[in-house]
Amino acid sequence: MLDHVSVIDLDEMGNSPSVRLHEVSLALAAGEWLNVVGVNGCGKSTLARLLAGLLPANLSGEMRRGFAGNGVSPIVLQQPKAQLFGETPREEVIFALEWKGIVKERIADLAEDALNKVGLLALADEPWTRLSGGQQQLAAFAASMACDPLLLILDEVTSMLDESNRELVLGTARSLHKRGTAILWITQRLDELEPDARVVAIEGGRVIYDGDCRGFLYGVPVPGETELPSSPCLRSGLRLPYLASMAIELRRLGKWKDPLPMTTQEWGKVLGDVGDAEAKIAKS
């Protein structure tokens, strides 16, 4: 969808430009789940607004909205408070539907449907003070989903949430994705990444990695190359978690080979496998 797009920020005097996005080329397919990672201020949010169809000033390059259509795609942001305009989830969805100009007769049904999709039907008429931060985010999802957008942009929606609310929000986003909505999931938390999902890493306004999440943590091994791959995660400036750091060291020591473990199940299996191998050696 993006082809060599740059966004340049001009300072007060109108010169010495600082670049927010630099020559970014990116394609997003309908119904795809795309993770975007990077440190604060790397240009993730600029990219999010761009992909939503909110065009900033000083944009160069070409952009085609493709499957997402010509309108604006809904964005959900970190802070639930800044994006809720009603007093209850149902009011929120109705507010969104009214502004979309949906005919009066359909609004009640569509609102029920949107609330059901995010699992908030039972809490539809509760005021915000009785909902957790995660549930408030789900209400913002519901308002965004009310008109069946083809693309939903979620900009660090879990960063202000505790663990259980984070799982709730992430799980709901995944179920919306299963129903066919393309999701742009912007995050700083690497434990939200699934090994085979696609991730784009941004550093200083440039895309420095576009591939699966395992490759992002551990680097992509090149066949026939003896030198070990470097971790795009480290290159992007993010902190490598304990287990990933340990796996990379084990590979450096020559004990492990790619693919390195990433999920809980894979780590369990690695421990089990080593055990089995040892057991076999002991037997023979």
Partner 1 sequence: MGDGDVQGKGLRLEPGTITVLLGPNGAGKTTLLEKIAGLREPENIQVLYGTDWLWKKGSLGRWQLNEEALLQYSYCSQSPEDGLFARSVRDELDYSLRPYALSEQERAERRDVALAAVGWDSSWETRDPYLMSGGERRRAALASVFATPAAWLLLDEPTAGLDGSGHERIADHLKQLRAEGRGIVLVSHDSDWAIPLADRILLWSADGSARLCGRDELLAHPEWLEQTGMTIPNWLRIAHLLGQSGVSPEKGWNPQLAAAEWDSISGMEFQMDKRSSGAEIVGKEAIKRIAKEKMHRLAGFDPRAVWLAYLLVSTGLFFLRDWVSMLVGAVVVAGLLIAGRISLRKWQGLIVNYAIFSIVTSTIFAWGASSGGGFEWEAFAGTLFPFARTMLILLLGLAIPLVMSPLSLRRSLEQLTTFKGKTPQGIQRFILTVTLMMRFVPVLLELWGRFAKIFLARGKTRARNPVAYGRKLRDVAIPFLLALFRLGDEVALALESRGVGVNPHPTRSVRLKWRMRDYGFTIGAIVLAVGLWGFAHR
Name the residue nearer to partner 1 (CB basis): 162 or 224.
Answer: 162
Compute the least distance from the CB of residue 48 to partner 1, in Å. Answer: 10
Of the pair 5, 138, the CB lying nearest partner 1 is at 138
Cα–Cα distance for residue pair 282/284, rounded to 1 Å: 6
Least separation in angstroms between residue 23's CB and partner 1 is 20
Side-chain-side CA neighbours of residue 163 (13 Å): 1
CA distances to 220, 232, 234, 257, 280 from 225, rounded to whole Å, are 11, 17, 20, 13, 31
Beta-sheet strands, E only, within the chain = 2-9, 18-26, 33-37, 59-63, 75-76, 151-155, 182-187, 198-203, 206-212
The 10 Å Cβ neighbour count of residue 180 is 10
Tell me how far, at minimum, the Cβ of 224 lies from partner 1, in Å.
26
Q: What are the tokens at 235?
A: 């290159």
Please, which residue, 4 or 235, has the CB nearer to partner 1?
235
Q: Which is nearer to partner 1, 196 or 276 (CB)?
A: 276
Nearer to partner 1, 157 or 207 (CB): 157
Q: Per the omega criterion (within 30 degrees of 0), is the bond before 17 cis?
A: no
Active site residues: 156
The rounded distance, in Å, linking the Cα atoms of 29 and 33 is 9
Q: Report the alpha-carbon distance of residue 216 to residue 237 in Å, rounded.
A: 12
Minimum distance, C-beta of residue 98 to partner 1, in the bound complex (Å):
5
As a residue count, the chain comes to 284
Min CB(143)–partner 1 separation in Å: 6
